[in-house]
């Protein structure tokens, strides 16, 4: 804090107390103006007073001295004249006197005459006239009285200056006093109030406002009223804050409640979802297991029926056995669809990607259905656009399944005419091509309204068709799901009574063209009930074409069949024997390991699900045994073909065959 005698005090005061300094300034301006005006008026009246005094002195000279001077002149009493003139000179403010008279040659001058003074102009003149009864009035001379106006003005200025100075000083002191009073009585309280309201604005809690050094009077003055107003405002703000805090607390509480409810709901939904998922999985698992369990004996029935059909039978018995064979085949197809559905619920399984040729794939699928087409007297064609890049890399297993489903449907719903598989390119760019596969038939067609719905699960055109053609309504749903998973799209164009064209397009990686043998595709790829061999077998035995592969060999293949289910074992053994193979059967892994120790086989067909020791373990033992069969091809016989399982079989040294 600066002391008042520091020059900066006033500047600081101005900055810190702008209101006080402004009041001071206005007081000073008004007071000084008033002082100036009042001093001017005062001076004017003083001046008028001086002039009046000079006038009264002249009057006194006229009345008291002029006649007696004329008398002395008449008497020629020079001494008397001089005495009288000195009496006049004694009047205040008279600078000098001059008497001009024709009586005396020289003038009488008293007082100090300034150098450049002009008597006549600057002085007041009095005529000295003497009256005689005989001659009447006679002018004896003239008296010039010169007034010292400099002294008069000097006096006036002096008085004026003293007045101005004293008034200014007085006013200044009064202003300072006023300023102090304003500061003490108003400004500091205003500042305290401003500080307080600012603190409230910042949310600082300070209790109610009380002005220091200001006792509250019985009748509240303006400052007290402002203090009351601020305190009322403060309590209103506080109440508002408290209300808002309460509201916020309520809100937070409601939010927490809501969160709790949402959490509980989410948890119950989650557990409901988990329960539903578990139930769904259990259902799928149950379906898969049941299908599998039913399919095993069914395969036995079909196999046995096939074997019987290959034997000598009379007409009636052949008819019965054919009935058994056809019914069990339909049952197997339905079961396969149920199994596919179970897989669909668990998530679509897309077989792994391999290199393949599009033409080979299309032709092999067509080849599978040629017997059916021939049976129904339908022409089955494959049409590959020459612009298609044949050698590709992708999930050929999925493509095969989709094409097979579409072709099976086409043949199923066509009674006359033709069915055609066609493949055309959409675009080919930088190692990729978009290909469109189409399966077109001249069958019963699909009504417009159903064309989008048939891709949904369990959807069939209508009941009469279901009754006539059977089916589960799952095939197209599985195809669509697979195409979607491969990043493609699928659709149908159909006209009722004229035919249908199912299409799907997807993007495949292109590869350099290599021969069909290297592409991993076997022309003998078969339907789900046939056995597929992937890979080559030593070309040293069979003599004729067979379902397993096309191999020209000099002696029958020596095959070990490891299968615990006796019906499967019997069927497989019978088929293989029928085809001319030498088959040796064992029922579990232990027996398999024993026999492979010293007997050399050309091929081992290994059931994966064996009791005690699984087919995978048996395979591992054989591979590690350094026996005669260490390098013998071992083919897995299984329906468990999830990628992880397949990977496991391969790691163990197996090749894969799907029943
Ligand atoms: P499913 O054939 O087992 O009934 P899909 O999903 O394969 O099941 O087919 C669903 C329905 O679509 C069939 O029931 C049939 O009504 C219709 N459909 C499929 N393909 C054709 C086709 N090529 N011609 C006429 N209708 C077809």
Structure token digits, residue 497: 């009574």
pLDDT of residue 147: 87
Q: Which atom of ligand 1 approaches the CA of 462 most closely?
A: 16
Q: What does the alpha-carbon distance between residue 580 and residue 542 come to, in Å, rounded to a whole number?
A: 7
Best of 412, 473, 498 to mutate for ligand 1, by most ligand atoms within 8 A of CB?
Answer: 473
pLDDT of residue 288: 66
User: Which phi and psi (to 5°) does residue 624 adopt?
Assistant: -90, -5
Q: Which atom of ligand 1 approaches the CA of 443 most closely?
A: 24
Q: What does the alpha-carbon distance between residue 109 and residue 605 come to, in Å, rounded to a whole number?
A: 172
DSSP SS3 for 391: strand
Is any ligand 1 atom within 6 A of the Cβ of residue 299? no
Structure token digits, residue 295: 């399919």
pLDDT of residue 352: 74
**How far is Cα of residue 276 from the mean position of the Cα atoms in its chain?**
35
Is any ligand 1 atom within 6 A of the Cβ of residue 500? yes
Is any ligand 1 atom within 6 A of the Cβ of residue 490? no
Q: Give me ligand 1 centre to Cα 451, in Å.
A: 10
The angle subtended at Cα 494 by Cα 488 and Cα 499, nearest 5°, is 120
What are the C-alpha distances in Å from 380 to residues 101, 413, 501?
A: 173, 14, 14
| Residue among 555, 11, 645, 58 at smallest CA distance from 352 | 645
pLDDT of residue 291: 67
Beginning with the edge strand found earlier in the chain, give each strand of the sheet holding 124-132 in spatial order: 108-111, 94-101, 136-147, 124-132
Would the CA dihedral through 170, 171, 172, 174 be positive or negative?
A: positive
Structure token digits, residue 12: 């600081």
The stretches in the chain having pLDDT less than 70 are: 1-11, 116-122, 205, 284, 287-288, 291-292, 340-349, 457-472, 514-554, 641-643, 656-659
DSSP SS3 for 247: helix
| Residue among 575, 607, 576 at smallest CA distance from 592 | 607
Burial (Cβ within 10 Å: 0-12, 13-18, ≥19) of residue 503: middle
Is any ligand 1 atom within 6 A of the Cβ of residue 394? no
| Residue among 103, 143, 93, 138 at smallest CA distance from 120 | 143
The residue contributing the CA closest to ligand 1 atom 23 is 410
Q: Which atom of ligand 1 approaches the CA of 405 most closely?
A: 7
637 with 606: CB under 8 angstroms? yes
Q: Give me ligand 1 centre to Cα 455, in Å.
A: 9
Q: Which residue has the tokens 């615990």?
A: 564
Q: Give me ligand 1 centre to Cα 445, in Å.
A: 9
pLDDT of residue 468: 62
Q: Give me ligand 1 centre to Cα 461, in Å.
A: 7
Q: Which atom of ligand 1 approaches the CA of 502 most closely?
A: 23
Is any ligand 1 atom within 6 A of the Cβ of residue 441? yes
Q: Which atom of ligand 1 approaches the CA of 459 most closely?
A: 10
Q: Which atom of ligand 1 approaches the CA of 471 most closely?
A: 3
The residue contributing the CA closest to ligand 1 atom 8 is 473
The residue contributing the CA closest to ligand 1 atom 3 is 471
């Amino acid at each position: 804090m600066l002391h008042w005698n520091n020059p900066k005090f006033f500047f600081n005061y101005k900055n810190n107390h702008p209101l006080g300094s402004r009041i001071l300034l206005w007081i000073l301006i008004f007071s000084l103006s008033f002082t100036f005006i009042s001093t001017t008026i005062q001076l004017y009246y003083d001046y008028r007073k001086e002039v009046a005094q000079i006038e009264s002195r002249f009057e006194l000279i006229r009345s008291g001295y002029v006649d007696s001077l004329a008398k002395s002149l008449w008497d020629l009493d020079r001494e008397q004249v001089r005495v009288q003139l000195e009496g006049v000179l004694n009047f205040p403010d008279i600078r000098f006197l001059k008497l001009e008279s024709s009586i005396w040659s020289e003038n009488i001058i008293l007082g100090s005459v300034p150098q450049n003074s002009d008597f006549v102009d600057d002085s007041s003149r009095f005529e000295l006239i003497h009256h005689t009864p005989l001659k009447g009035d006679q002018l004896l001379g003239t008296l010039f009285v010169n007034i010292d106006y400099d002294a008069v003005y000097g006096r006036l200025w002096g008085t004026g200056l003293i007045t101005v100075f004293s008034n200014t000083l007085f006013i200044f002191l009064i202003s300072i006093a006023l300023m102090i009073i304003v500061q003490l009585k108003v400004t500091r309280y205003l500042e305290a109030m401003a500080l307080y309201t600012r603190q409230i604005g910042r949310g600082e809690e300070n209790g109610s406002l009380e002005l220091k050094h200001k006792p509250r009077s019985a009748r509240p003055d303006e400052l007290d009223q402002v203090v009351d107003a601020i305190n009322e405002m403060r309590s209103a703000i506080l109440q508002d804050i408290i209300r808002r805090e309460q509201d916020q607390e309520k809100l937070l509480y409601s939010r927490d409640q809501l969160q709790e409810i949402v959490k509980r709901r989410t948890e119950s939904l989650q557990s409901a979802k988990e329960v539903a998922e578990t139930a769904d999985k259990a259902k799928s698992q149950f379906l898969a297991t049941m299908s599998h369990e039913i399919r095993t004996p069914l395969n036995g029935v079909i196999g046995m029926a096939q074997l019987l059909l290959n034997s000598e039978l009379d007409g009636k018995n052949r008819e019965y056995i054919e009935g058994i064979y056809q019914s069990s085949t339909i049952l197997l197809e339905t079961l396969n669809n149920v199994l596919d559905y179970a897989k669909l619920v668990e998530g679509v399984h897309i077989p792994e990607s391999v290199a393949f040729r599009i033409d080979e794939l299309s032709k092999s699928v067509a080849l599978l259905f040629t017997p059916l087409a021939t049976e129904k007297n339908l022409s089955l064609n494959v049409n590959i656009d020459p612009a298609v890049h044949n050698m590709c890399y992708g999930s050929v297993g999925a493509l095969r399944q989709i094409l097979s489903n579409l072709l099976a449907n086409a043949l199923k719903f066509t009674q006359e005419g033709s069915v055609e598989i066609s493949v055309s390119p959409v675009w080919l760019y930088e190692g990729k091509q978009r290909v469109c596969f189409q399966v077109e038939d001249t069958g019963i067609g699909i009504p417009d309204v159903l064309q989008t719905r048939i891709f949904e699960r369990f959807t069939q055109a209508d009941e009469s068709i279901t009754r006539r053609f059977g089916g589960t309504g799952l095939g197209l749903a599985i195809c669509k799901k697979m195409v979607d998973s491969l990043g493609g799209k699928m659709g149908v164009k159909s006209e009722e009574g004229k035919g249908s064209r199912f299409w799907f397009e997807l993007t495949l990686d292109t590869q350099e063209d290599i021969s069909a043998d290297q592409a991993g595709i076997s022309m003998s790829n078969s339907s789900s009930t046939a056995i597929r061999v992937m890979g080559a077998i030593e070309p040293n035995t069979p003599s004729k074409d067979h379902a397993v592969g096309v191999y020209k060999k000099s002696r029958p293949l020596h095959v070990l069949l490891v299968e615990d289910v006796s019906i499967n074992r019997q069927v497989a053994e019978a088929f293989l024997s029928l085809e001319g193979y030498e088959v040796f059967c064992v029922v579990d892994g232990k027996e398999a390991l024993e026999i492979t120790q010293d007997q050399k086989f050309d091929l081992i067909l290994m059931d994966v699900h064996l009791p005690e020791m699984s087919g995978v373990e048996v395979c591992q033992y054989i591979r590690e045994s350094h026996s005669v069969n260490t390098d013998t091809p071992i083919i897995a016989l299984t329906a468990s073909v999830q990628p992880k399982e397949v990977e496991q079989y391969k790691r163990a040294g197996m090749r894969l065959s799907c029943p």
